[in-house]
């Protein structure tokens, strides 16, 4: 029955290695089926097509319960067909009966690392799970930060900037400081700091922190040039402050509309700050 490296046959002998051990590295879907059950034969080609579309982000294991009845009994498989998801060595979800390809895609999308899982969780209103899925996707697929960026943008559009900021903060420092993610993270850091400034009366813990707060106050007054001035000074006093956030935030502000005079001042500051 094996079709591709990520669609394989399961047995009682290889179940621990193929399913349980692999599920500690990523999601594994087990299709419990019988050649004597018509619904299993209807579901199987749909399942194979969906697994192929996911291109290995979920390992699909086909387990014939006629051949491995003792294992099926031990796993309490009572009705077929049944697709069960394993993660971390445990069964975490299941889907019973014949399903459409759309339903199978939605089911796989909940568990496959990548943009689909994060966006699915966000669509269901579970922002915490969306953040976990996006962060996991970034860690498992470091060359593809698309999930984190897409979810963060959707949260911003939904007027939930703090949740978007928390999502990007959960990413590895190198990832959250580069490209579009770096610019969005810097913007969101300033928004979060503006909100915190209204809530805390605590004195700054360092010169860099004080300068960053001054920048936030200037930004609240729409004084972009002064905000950039304080951010560049913050970066000069402590280049490693919050993983280089100050200079990235200044560059993010420089992309905003401002008067010609403010533009000249900001450009000069950024030239010096670089």
For the stretch 123-152, pLDDT in tens is: 667 767 676 666 666 665 655 567 678 778
9: β partners: 62
Going by pLDDT thresholds of 50, 70 and 90, the confidence category of residue 198 is low
Q: Is residue 36 part of a domain?
A: yes
Q: Is residue 2 part of a domain?
A: no
Domain end call among 93, 111, 129 = 111
61 with 86, same domain: the answer is yes
What pLDDT is recorded for position 142?
Answer: 56
60 with 155, same domain: the answer is no
Mean pLDDT within 220-234:
88
| Strand residue runs (E) in the chain | 7-10, 28-33, 59-64, 82-87, 90-96
117 with 107, same domain: the answer is no
The domain total for the chain is: 3
130 with 107, same domain: the answer is no
pLDDT score of 274 more than 80: no
CATH number at residue 50: 3.40.30.10
pTM over 0.85: no
> What domain range is 194 assigned to?
182-274
Within 8 A by CB and 6+ apart from 45, the residues are: none
């Amino acid at each position: 029955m094996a079709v591709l490296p990520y669609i394989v046959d399961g047995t009682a002998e290889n179940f621990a290695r193929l399913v349980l051990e692999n599920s500690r590295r990523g999601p594994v879907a087990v299709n419990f089926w019988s050649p004597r059950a018509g619904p299993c034969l209807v579901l199987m080609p749909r399942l194979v097509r969906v697994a192929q579309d996911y291109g290995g982000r979920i390992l699909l294991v086909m387990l014939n319960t006629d051949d491995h009845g003792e294992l099926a009994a031990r796993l309490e498989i009572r009705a077929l067909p049944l697709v069960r998801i394993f993660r971390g060595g445990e069964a975490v979800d299941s889907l019973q009966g014949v399903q459409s390809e759309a339903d199978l895609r939605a089911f796989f999308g909940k568990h496959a690392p990548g943009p689909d899982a994060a966006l699915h969780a966000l669509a269901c209103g579970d922002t915490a799970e969306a953040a976990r899925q996006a962060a996991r996707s970034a860690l498992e697929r470091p060359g593809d930060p698309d999930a984190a960026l897409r979810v963060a943008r959707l949260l911003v559009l939904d007027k939930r900037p703090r949740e978007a900021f928390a999502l990007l903060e959960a990413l590895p420092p190198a990832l959250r400081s580069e490209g579009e993610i770096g610019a969005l993270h810097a913007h969101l850091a300033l928004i979060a700091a503006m909100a915190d400034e209204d809530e805390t009366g605590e004195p700054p813990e360092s010169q860099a922190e004080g300068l960053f707060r001054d920048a936030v106050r200037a930004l609240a007054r729409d004084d972009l040039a002064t905000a950039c001035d304080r951010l560049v000074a913050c970066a000069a006093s402590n280049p490693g402050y919050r993983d280089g956030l100050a200079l990235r935030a200044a560059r993010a502000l420089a992309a905003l509309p401002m008067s010609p005079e403010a533009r000249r001042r900001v450009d000069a500051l950024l030239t010096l700050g670089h």
